[in-house]
Amino acid sequence: MIMYDTIIIGAGIAGMTAAIYAARKVMKFEILSTDTGGQFLVSGEVLNYPGIVRTTGFDFRKTMLEQLEYNKVKVKNETVRDVRKKGDTFTVITDKSSYDTKTVIVAVGSKARKLGVPGEEKFANKGVAYCSVCDGPVFSGMDVAIVGGGNSALEAADFMKDIASKIYLIVRGGEFRGHEYLIERVKKNPKVEIIFNADTKEIKGDAMVSSLKYEKDGKEVELKVRGVIIEIGRVPNTELFRNVVEMDQTGHIKIDCHGRTTTPGIFAAGDCVSGSEYQYVISAGQGTMALLKVAKYLAEKD
């Protein structure tokens, strides 16, 4: 049985970056993932990655795949079922095989929390977005609706203030759940119309989003908007690791500044870790950090 230096779980930008660095260090490793691309598969335009003026999730993924191929890295399309500790090593079990490894890098990412209303899936990347920083500039000069009442929704409204023409902030409850300074900033913005106690019911359109329907006080209201930004939180894909590493109250994996989890030998990076800002550049940096610290960990053990 092969003993790997590390097994990388997840093939989004964090996992891919870790794999590129592992290849450059000529480490014995595999990168395992159910799909290849992570957030690339659901992103529209990408305008904020240093060194790349403008791209899309599709094209960014293509570039990363070319870089993996250049470094002779091949993602194994396998779904991880379990990670078991064996002394000071680990066994990673998938739906197809198992791997003994000295270390593990968890880079399984997260997914946007969905509203679950009609039209949401149909208009994904056609006016429906889940990240204002990533996709907000697409709605320049347009009327948009932002759904949510927490910090992420407030930050989205603040971010969109110089981009959108009009911003409807649709809050399901009767008050915000966020930082006071953000609340005050949003309330003072003349572009923002705050609608409390509004339950989003449907997103409508033809080829692209044209309106959002919500219910308030028993009455349905339809807003004419070109974009709907859903900011009701994210869900990390970490269920598998609940008994393996320590997590915060939201299910994100706790790491230190070196990417180390609370279990020696297991590192984590990207959108699945605590304190994540859900940005490609941060995830890539964390993937790099995790791999470099894995190399240091192995060197110290040897």
User: How far apart, in whole angstroms, are the C-alpha atoms of residue 159 and residue 56?
Assistant: 20
Strand partners, 82: 93
CB 296 within 8 A of CB 288: no
Query: How many residues are recorded in the chain?
Result: 302
User: How far apart, in whole angstroms, are the C-alpha atoms of residue 152 and residue 225?
Assistant: 20
First vs last Cα of the chain: how many Å apart?
A: 20
The number of CA neighbours under 13 Å toward the Cβ of 286 is 33
Q: Is the dihedral of CA 216, 125, 232, 193 positive or negative?
A: negative
Strand partners, 84: 91
85 CB-contact burial (10 Å; exposed 0-12 / middle 13-18 / buried 19+): middle
Q: Is 131 a catalytic residue?
A: yes
Q: Is 100 a catalytic residue?
A: no
User: How far apart, in whole angstroms, are the C-alpha atoms of residue 203 and residue 191?
Assistant: 22
Of the residues 5, 35, 100, 134, which is catalytic? Answer: 134
Of the residues 131, 143, 271, 272, which is catalytic? Answer: 131
Q: Is 272 a catalytic residue?
A: no
Of the residues 5, 82, 100, 135, which is catalytic? Answer: 135
User: How far apart, in whole angstroms, are the C-alpha atoms of residue 189 and residue 97?
Assistant: 55
Helix (H, G, I), strand (E, B) or coil at 109: coil
Identity of the amino acid at 246: E
Active site residues: 131, 134-135
